[in-house]
Amino acid sequence: MNTNRIIMLVAAAVMAVSALALSKKEMNQIGQQVDAIFSQVYADPSQPGAAVLIQQRGKTIFERCYGKADLETGADVTPTTNFCIASVSKQFSAVALLQLVEQGKLSLQTTMAQMFPEWTQPFYRRITLHHLLSHTSGIPDARPRGDRHFVLTATDVPSVGFMATLGEGDLEFAPGTQYKYQNPTFQLAYQIVPRYSGEDFEDYMSRHIFKKAGMKHTQYFEDGREMPNSAHGYRWDEAQRRYVEFDYGEETFFATKADGGLYTSVRDFARWEQALRDGKVWSAVSRAMAYTPHVWLQPDANYGYQPNVGYGYGFFIQQTPGRPKIVYHTGDNGGFTIYAGKVPERDITFMFFSTRDDIDRMAIVNRVWDILLDQ
């Protein structure tokens, strides 16, 4: 990315005028309109539900929970319920890698051949960290799916084992020329972080990401470890005419961490958003690069397509003409359906974490942003 462009983006962010705080009347009006949307979607309190949180400048505008976190125990969703946030987890791995870039331990132009010298294929000399972070590597998702036990239990390292066997002809496009959303390339962070930091991935994330952000109740999924105060994901089963649990043991590649295995609550995630905004976990330069589209999504994109949307480093960026930039990510894993977005220009964050997947997430999201941005 052009250095002058980065400097301009950082300067613009520093010089931006802070969004005006909403009045109490405006917040009440927003709350009523947003609640009307979610009360309709999650009308039955006995069924799987969601947690919704909207803040401006760190102040809560709207917070409400709907339905159940666990149908077996009857536990309600609360603002501190931990959800699997699925691919929203990718931004945490991206920030960890950008921290290592800031420290000079890595470069965005560090190649896969340098990061994984045991993989000797020539094309790995052309794929860089920049490509991994922006889903532009051209590496296929060739995870083996013939072994049901493997796809249900595989963790980050075995999940990417296929990369050692790829050939030049297996690349789906020349690195940097197209977008194709990838889970395995983000799973590589599980090995890159310890190779360049000297700390295990989990330890590094705990010390340099979660602790710095004040996220005291956030942790990665691990088979056999208790996940306190956590929800389950559910999918509607037409034959049984009921919602059935659909997460670990039912969903493929649920146990990988760097691309999607993080459990957190809307309140803990709000702390993360403030840490990103206030520079607690990265520099303004890293933030500008992460929030800048490095590739634009086309209508045939395999994940994430919306009009006027590009991908930065661990974030989607929507730049609709006449509207401020929206930086966000979605997550889908088992029955969990996740959205976390923000408008940096107005310092507004909006997230909703759902325990069921039979919803039109982006239709809901767009209606809420219409409410928030028309104020």
2 — pLDDT class (breaks 50, 70, 90): low
Q: Which helix (H) or strand (E) holds 353?
A: strand 348-354
Q: What is the CATH number of the domain that holds 65?
A: 3.40.710.10
Dist. CA 273–CA 275, nearest whole Å? 5
How far is residue 314's CA from residue 89's CA, in Å, rounded to a whole number?
9
Confidence of residue 7 (pLDDT cuts 50, 70, 90): very low
Per-residue confidence (pLDDT) for residue 14, from 0 to 100: 39
Task: Give the confidence band of 9 by pLDDT, cuts at 50, 70, 90.
Answer: low
pLDDT of res. 13 = 46
Does pLDDT of 10 surpass 50?
no
Using DSSP, state whether 62 is helix, strand or coil. Answer: strand
pLDDT of 278 reads 98
- Model pLDDT, residue 100: 98
Give 213's DSSP letter: H
Residue 38 makes CB contacts below 8 A (sequence gap 6+) with 50, 52, 64, 66, 352, 364
Task: Say yes or no to pLDDT of 374 above 80.
Answer: yes
33-87 tens-digit pLDDT: 999 999 999 999 999 999 999 999 999 999 999 999 999 999 999 999 999 999 9
Q: What is the pLDDT of residue 20?
A: 55
The residue-averaged pLDDT of 305-320 equals 97
The reply to whether 275 falls in a domain is yes
Instruction: Tell me the H-state helices in the chain.
Output: 3-15, 24-41, 90-102, 112-115, 129-134, 148-153, 156-159, 184-187, 189-197, 201-205, 211-213, 266-278, 284-290, 361-373
If one compares 63 and 2, the residue with the highest pLDDT of the two is 63
Q: Does residue 203 lie within any of the structural domains?
A: no
pLDDT of residue 15: 37
pLDDT value of residue 225: 84
Count of domains for the chain: 1
pLDDT in tens, 124-145: 999 999 999 999 999 999 999 9
Beta strands in 214-257 (DSSP E): 219-220, 234-237, 242-245
In a domain, residue 120? The reply is: no
- Does residue 129 contact residue 237 with C-beta atoms inside 8 Å? no
Tell me, what's the pLDDT at 16? 43
Q: Is the model's pLDDT at 219 over the cut of 80?
A: yes
> Would you say residue 366 lies in a domain?
yes
What mean pLDDT do residues 241-250 have?
A: 94
Q: Is residue 348 part of a domain?
A: yes
151-187 pLDDT tens trace: 999 999 999 999 999 999 999 999 999 999 999 999 9
For the chain, the average pLDDT equals 94
pLDDT at 130: 98
pLDDT in tens, 198-207: 999 999 999 9
Compare 352 and 19 and report the one with higher pLDDT.
Answer: 352
DSSP state of 348: E
Q: What is the pLDDT of residues 13-43, one digit of tens each?
A: 433 434 457 788 888 899 999 999 999 999 9
Does residue 117 sit within a domain? no
* C-alpha distances out from residue 371 to 40, 182, 344, 368, Å: 16, 32, 16, 5
Q: How confident is the model at residue 112 (pLDDT cuts 50, 70, 90)?
A: very high
User: Tokens representing 289?
Assistant: 């690069």
Q: Is the predicted pLDDT of residue 11 greater than 80, yes or no?
A: no
* The pLDDT of residue 18: 44
Can you give the residue range of the structural domain that contains 327?
3-82+260-373
> Under the phi-then-psi rule, with left for phi > 0, alpha for psi from -120 to 50, and beta for the rest, what region is 310?
beta
Per DSSP, the three-state class of 75 is strand
Q: Answer yes or no: is 314 within a domain.
A: yes
Confidence of residue 336 (pLDDT cuts 50, 70, 90): very high
In a domain, 55, yes or no: yes
